Each structure stands twice: as C-alpha cells, then as structure tokens.
Structure 1
C-alpha cells in the first residue's frame, strides 16, 4: 500500500499486544497522545476503524489484515537486514504458529526440536482449535497453522502431513464398573465421557459413524488439555478418544484398553503457511513436514 506508514502499524500492534494505549506508549517510548495520533492517522488512511475500542480491545477485519501485513514485514526484515548489512544474526526471529492441543501433546515439539535448539527462532505457539487456527493464518496473525482443511488459503501453501488416528479407550477399572455387559451405542451413551470444549463433537461423531446413533444423556466432562484426557482415562473417570500415538505405552502395558477394536476416528492434517517464506519459516516447514511424514500414518 503506497503511502502506508509502518509506524502506524507498529503502534496498532503494540496497542493490541499491551491491550492499552498507555502501556503501548511506554513500550514504544513515545507519549500516549502520539500513539493515539498514529492510530487515528492509520484509520484516516484506510477510511475505516481498525480498532473496536472496548475492553478487551479488538481488531476490526481491516485491522486484522493490517496487523498480518505488519508481522509478515517484521519477519522478513529480521532476516533480511543482517544479510544486507553483512552482519551476523544476533537475535532470533520471532515466529507465531497455531496448532491444536493434540498436536502439541504428541508430535509438534519433537518435530521442531532441531529448529528450536538452533537459536535462530523464538516461537510463539498459539493453541487453538483447527478452525480458529486457520482464521488466525487467514488474518495474518500467525505464519503457519495446523488444519484439517486441504485447500490453501489465499497467499498460502497447504502441505499434507499425515493422518491422526484416535482410539476409543478406557481403563480396566472403568470397563469393570460400567461396561461389563459389553460395548454398544447404548452403553457408551450412558457412561461418563469427555470433550475438549463446547465445540468438540468428536465422540458424538464417532458414535454416529460406527454405531449409527447418538441420543445419550450421559455425563460429559469438559477438559481443555490433551494430557488430562489421558489422565482421566487412566484414573477411570471417563472413556476418551485419544490419538493412538499419544498412548502407545499405556496400550502396550494394559493400563488403557481399546474398547472398540477396529473402530477409529481419523482425519488428515495439513500444514498451511505463507507462500512467501523467510529462511526461518522455511526451516520450520521442512522440520514439520519431514518429521510427520516419517512418524504419522500416511
């Protein structure tokens, strides 16, 4: 955008990061009125608001796009300037990515181990549902995101990573207490289950897919932690759908049992990232794709 002053975008970014004009001013070493003036100049330039001035402060749709542009420029600049000046890279590049909790609990960190140990990148990992992760990438708030969506978003590339297989598991004590007469749709719809949040319909979809019905009135706990799902199952508090790669040891030693053998809940996952990659984002992409293609079912 010709004529766009990146000091305006810097001010907008800090106002959102600090959730206030005064702390943003302190961060930028300018006055609060100067921050306000920069935001007003930006809004005048785009002829519409970029902020919803409520608590908490929120970006408007155009504000999200402008923040996305600013962060892309920052990532590219952090890598390009040392090269242009023929100077060694002394500070890591800050990179934001989005993933769901299951990815973080299983394969994501091992895949990024080498990149993180290199000292070249400072990762900001946003833990979000896959729908929200895709939205963050679309708005430019993150550089890459894990998603079930195959088709790339505008300006992005989508790369297939593999398949995640969920098993329906419970502890021997849970089976003895609740499922002595067998595992059926009727029995599963009467016993305690667990979901990640109010948008998580995985176990209902599992029952619909493999048993053809869901009309239960059972207790369904809401627990926003993949690791806690495993603990709930081990303690006999609920039956759970858990990624197979997360519980291979527990299955092998009998602490968890696949209560619906041959019936899984599976979906493919994709790594979406900016089409214009910086060196660090390229390293992250290669690390993720290389690891998952050798560790996840294809």
Structure 2
C-alpha cells in the first residue's frame, strides 16, 4: 500500500515547484519532505521527480500525481457534509483553460461555481489544442479543449463553438490594405499572433500562398492586450467575435478578410469520477457555455 503522507509530500513538491516551498506548505522540515519522497520512490521502484529548477515529475510521477488528485477529490467528497469553512475545508481543483475562453466566458463560469461551493481553482493556461495534454498527464482534473475525443478514464461534454474573425481598425485597413487583402499587402502589414505555437494565422494566410515567416509578426501572449493592440491600430489579427461584440457593432474594429472566419469547437474533458466536485465543475462549464458559445 502507498503511504499517503509520502504521496502528499510528493504532490506538494511538484505543485509548489520545489522542496523548500513544499516543506513550508506541509509545516515540516525540508529533510522530512526529501525522506518521504525517497521512501515513496523506494516503494514504487522508480524515480518520481527530476531534480531540476523547478522540479518536474517523471512519467511515473505524473501517474501518481493524477492518482493522488483523484483520491483527494473522493476523500473530500466523502467528508464534505462535516466540513466548515476553514482553509483546510476548501479543495483546490486544477483545470486547464485556453486564454480566449478565460478572457470571455470563463469568468461567468467561475462566478457560477465558486459562489456556491468550497472549490478553489488552480487555472493552468494553455492553447485549446494543448490543454488536453494537461489532463492526459494528470496535471489537471478537467480542461477546456478543442480535441473532441475522450481519453481513457475520462468523459467529454460538448460546450459550443467559438468563432474567430480577422479584424483591424478602419484606419489600419485603409493604410495597409488600400487595394484589399492582397499577398503584397500581407507581406508588409504587421499581424498579431498569440505565441509561436499559434497556427491560426499560418492557416489563414496559406490560402493566399503565403508561408510562415513571410509576414511581420507581433507576439502577444495575452488575450486582453491582443485586443487592445488591435484597437490602437498596431496590427491586425484573429479575435473571437465573442470578445469584441461591442467593437464590431460600433465599427471600432472591422473584419478585413471578406467571408472568412475560423470556428473552433470546444469541449469539456474531465476524469470520469462520480464525485460532487467533478459534477459541479461539469455542470457550471456546460451551463455557462450554453449562454455564451454558439451551438
């Protein structure tokens, strides 16, 4: 049997990025944390942590981390009716969310969820194509993802569609695209991209025979700043229509590519556990998504 004090110490080291912080959280010495993890590694017969900065779990460590989180959810669910409202009575639930959802409909989801539960959220940010890996690795208990298929041991709920439009200010469009969205203009006009893993612009511009690296790019890894830079006329880019409804109505921002949009289908994935917290998470995400996302 696994000693759960040892497993708790291992999870604390991974979640807090090191032994010293884990010792502070657990109110024990750093040497005691190290000893518990050594005993756990001896018990499972494998290394669980790569001693880097910050520390990283090994493949076996990821499996144990996921197991610990599942057991913690079930244990908390078992005793929830006897809990009060001290710090120990809350449960922290890590979830993977993409930046554009976090900037639009997720705040309403959190309001729905957190005002009526004892859940504390630990939001892990990632592209909608990458959050699925967070769940697979045991890093989160649930995620918003563009991947439709459920993985083993998990369930999937369709949330809805997020539509992206290519926008800029009218002045920017007039300055850089006076003759329309031509390949010559695209190679000169600065475009906004979330980060270097974001392929949405490359996919759009490939329709015009333009390859990655052939156009000037601002990298802006923040959804709110992305929109702000676009509104200041510093570039153009693909933005969720949900995020700029007012700007589109007022013509502060205008679509600059005729009849082109990208639709991303979003899904909620979570562990297939019949616990109260998983159910509350799923219900909140599904309820609010129906109000905001296109079906």
Q: Deviations over 1:136-177 (max 9, x none)?
A: 111222111011111111111111111111000010110121
Aligned to 2:251: 254
Distance 1:81 1:119, change over 3 A: closer
Compute the TM-score of the two structures, normalised by the length of structure 1.
Answer: 0.92
Distance 1:23 1:207, change over 3 A: closer
CA RMSD of aligned residues (A): 1.7
Aligned to 1:97: 95
Aligned to 2:29: 31
Q: Deviations over 1:184-234 (max 9, x none)?
A: 23322321001111111211101224x354366321011111111111111
Q: Deviations over 1:13-62 (max 9, x none)?
A: 12223333233233323333322221111111111100111222111011
Q: Deviations over 1:274-294 (max 9, x none)?
A: 100421221121111122224
Compute the TM-score of the two structures, normalised by the length of structure 2.
Answer: 0.93
Q: Deviations over 1:35-93 (max 9, x none)?
A: 2221111111111100111222111011111111111211222221134xxx2443333
Aligned to 2:77: 79
Measured after TM superposition, the shift of residue 178 of structure 1 is 0.8
- How many residues in Structure 1 have an aligned counterpart in Structure 2? 292
User: Is contact 1:92-1:120 (8 Å) kept?
Assistant: yes
Deviates more, 1:99-108 or 1:7-16: 7-16
1:280 equivalent among 271, 277, 280: 277
Mapping of 1:207-218 within 5 angstroms?
207-209=205-207, 211-214=208-211, 217-218=214-215
Aligned to 1:20: 18
Distance 1:277 1:131, change over 3 A: farther
1:289, 1:194 → 2: CA distance? 31
User: Is contact 2:16-2:22 (8 Å) kept?
Assistant: yes
Unaligned runs of 5+ in 1: none
Unaligned runs of 5+ in 2: none
User: Is contact 2:18-2:53 (8 Å) kept?
Assistant: no
